[in-house]
Structures are given as C-alpha cells and as structure tokens.
Structure 1
C-alpha cells in the first residue's frame, strides 16, 4: 500500500469498529474506507474503491437536504451499492490535515432501517386513528342515508297509490344520485388519507385545511364545536398532502378532546394563515383553556400523553413534529394564549 492508503493507520482499529461508515477523500478521490461502509456498499475489500472517484458511490440530492438526528443537523444523500441499489444515508463532513495534505473525512450513517421504522410508526399512528375516522364517516353518512331512505319511502307511497309520475321520479332519483356521489367522495377522502405512500403534489395549505375540515365537520358540529377558517390567498407548494392532513387532524382532535373534557361553553377553534418569502404558516387556536405550563414543553416528546384516562398513545404530536422535520419540510410550535392554546405549523417554501 502507498502512503495515502495508510492515512490514520494508528486509528484503524477504532475506525473499522464504528457503527458509521467512514470515507477519507482527497481531491474527490477515495483514499480510505472502513469496514462498516464496505458492508453497507456490498464490497469485499477496500482495494475495489481506493483511488476511485467518491461520486461513484455518493449521490447528492438535486438540492441540499438536511435532517435532524439526535438534535444535530446532518446532510441527507444516497449511496449506490455494488449491486446498484440506492440507500438513504446522512453524512457529516470534516476537513482534516495530514502531512501537509488536505483530506475530507465523511461520516456516513445508513438510514434504511430508520426510514422503515419511521414509516411503521407513522402507519401505526394512522391506524390508531382509524376508529375515530370510522366515527367521522358515520357522521358524514348519517344525514344523506336518512334522506335517501325518506326519498325511497316517498317513491313507494306514490307507487302504491298510482301517482308515481315521470317528473317526480326523475327529480327524486337525481337527488338520490347527488347524495350517493357525496358519500362516494367522502369515502375517497378517507381512503386517500390511509394510503401508505404519500406523494407530493402541487397544492395550497388552504386546500389541505379545507379537506381536513370536511373530514371533521359533521363530528364537530354534532358536539357544538365551531371551526372558523380565516382564509388568505397562499401560493401553491409541492407538499405531502396526506401527512399534512394527518398533522392538522391530530391538532384539531386534541383541541376537541380538551374542549369536551373541560366542558367549554361556546367552543371555538380558529384557523388562519400567513406567508412571507421563506415560509407559510398555519395558526390553529382554540379556547379550551391551554396546557399546563409544567408540561407544555414535553408535548412533542415520544410517548408523552395527557390523555391517560383515554389511553392516548402519546405518539400523535411527536409524529407531527417528526413529519415536519424529517425532510426539512418545516416545524411546529405551541404556546398558551389568553383563552387556550395556539399551534403554529411552519412550512418552508424551498
């Protein structure tokens, strides 16, 4: 081996036993690589990669993406294995000097397992909400089903007394069809929400809030909870619609639970919007009395729940924060106001 291949030879045992993959690069060429990274990439020995361009295994994203991990910020890129598979990873780069030469030491952590666990946790969070969703569908369907039943009864009565004319029948069948179409649309809204893979689409935050409101409206009205939407024109963004619906649903349901638990008179949830050059914001404020100052800083922690009597999982708000932070999509904050709590959802434009 040449001198370059013996870089950091005194630390080789440490480097080769780290969980992270480690790559040493000089002017874009690979000069050393540890065992962990070889295993991730599927190579048997480092000689297959030494003095090759690092871009042969490191694939940067089209624009720089960062992810929070253990409260630190890392760049997210992909690796290409010997077999051509793409692996999501996070990296941290350090500039080092050795014998008057400049090197870059790249620390690489495989995200494959974490990404799968993250998908599973988000999926579990959605499934835990399914019971409540079915209740919402029942509320959405109850009135149209009752109306359709009444219309069918009217048709039968008219038929029994031989007064079933064509104009009446056409009119009532058209009305029945409208109710059936409404019910079909409702099912599509809920079915789309439960799809496993959420694709991004060009949509406004206003539209996402309106979709969410439609899903909740009947349930909230049945409990005399008013949702007031203060609309504002926002530009369209490329957004993961289902994930954002999940976040807003979670916050609104938390407000509903607090309102019902505290028997709030004239319950109101207010939703408003704002935007600047860098970000858009959704403000969700209720009048449910707020959150105890001793616990408000903990509500985004995993498995922390204020719903002990209701067997809350404590994953809801943690999932919300995780969704927003995972691709640098945005962030979420909470604060107590005069009569209740205010959640601020921030969505980055870039």
Structure 2
C-alpha cells in the first residue's frame, strides 16, 4: 500500500507557527505542499519562517508534470530530493527569468464577481499589450508582426471591456440571470451539491447545448490545444464559476487586493486532488473541495481543522456537513 499524501493548506502552516498544532515528520504519511504555497509565501513579510515549518515536518513538494510543449499532462510528481528552501529558490529564480505580471487580469475577475471599479478594467487592453510586447522583446526575430497583431485586436478588446462596463456588475442580477433570484445556490447542502446547483441553473441553459461539465469548466468548448482538458484546470475554473454563483464564496473574491488569495484557494483544491487528503482551517474551502471532489469522483478527503474556544485544534472528519 502506498503512503498517504496529505496536502496542507497555507493556513495550516500558520497554525503550526502560532503553536496551535504540532505537526511532525511521520512514517505513516507524507505532508505535501505545492508551488501555490510559494505564491502565498512570496507575498509574506518573512518567507523563511514558513519554509522552515515545511522543512521541519519533512513536507514534500508536489508539482504538475508538463509535456514538451509546457502543457499540463494531467499527472503530478513528488520532488523528494530537494528541501523546501531549495524548491522555493528555484521558484523565485524561475519567475525572475520572465517578467510576467500574473495580476494583469485581476480587474476582469473581480468585476465579473461583482466588485472592483471601471478604472483598472479600462486599462486592461493597454496592460495586456505591454505585457505581450515585454515577453516577446528578446525573441530572436523581428517583432513587428506581433506588434501589428496586438494593435489589431486592441479595438475588439476595448469593445469587450466597454460592454462589460455598460452591462454593469450587479452580482445579484448576474445570479438571477442564472436562475437564482433568491440566493438558493448559497444554501445548497447535502450530497451531490454540484448537481443540485446545475438543477437550478440548467433551465436558463435550455437550447444552448451546454452540459454541466462545460458550464463548470471541466470540459470547455475551447480547449486551447488540449485534447482533454486537465482536471487541475477544470477545478480552478470550477472555483471561478462558484465565486460568481455564490457557492461557498467569500467577499474577498470581489476585492482587487484579495483576489490572489482566491486564486490560491482554487490552486490548493486543484493540487489536493492528487492526494489522499487536504487539510485546511478554511471551512468554505473544505466544503467547496468536498463538492468538487464528489462531483468528479475524486477520492481526496477534505478535512477541516477547527479552532475551539480554548484554542485547541482538532480535525473534523465530517467538516463539510452543513
């Protein structure tokens, strides 16, 4: 029997630092983390203290396997021969080699979630153009063609943004358009929660030919060159849809300063799908993970770590119960 892999959310590392829990190296399981932790650790004031926790408990990094074209294969592997410090330095070196602004589409994501303002959204096409030109500036061929293509699509990009702004982003109206005028999706509980949500939404999809898998991002119509859409990307996309619908969504999904945390949560759920269990202090994350894993028949067990009044911590096996 293989050793169980237990994926720990970033907040579990925080609990360890605060002395609320006492994780240690174990022979009967492997604590697991991913590059998504590094994205969060990089934003912290003192990254080393988080890396030290991972190092002391013998945590191992799990990473997605990419093919020769840098596409996700659907498989993942453990990096057991490097410490968290070494893996983090490799991560920092890698993102330092390419000046890519991962926040460029944050204004769009926040807007469709019902937050943000028009200013950053109107700057989106210029920021996108500058990003592409920056990424291609050192390529060993003339970039005039690329520049012309960017100029050609900019009016269409701006038109899309104008339409978004014109339509507004009242999240209640958006959810009502999906058949949820009373916030029923936010109250879904019990088994088969994704299917229950689809039952609410599907009447508004009549005649579109869109399936539940397509709507929730597991089988997009445009697969961007993939024959089969990777499960990890499907889970990340599903989380984005759930933010719009209001299923186990948090207000931070509508804040430009917090949207990166929302993406990290989605990434953790995606990486947790490769493990035996995912451990988190975030009740909403655990509930959402349970719903997604159940829908896709993923065997990962989401486990909630609850902080009691006396500050003791205990795992709750049925944490996803409403």
**What is the TM-score of this pair, normalised by structure 2?**
0.26
Bigger RCO of structures 1 and 2 (CA < 8 A, at least 6 apart): 2
- Using structure 1 for the length normalisation, give the TM-score: 0.24
Larger Rg: 1
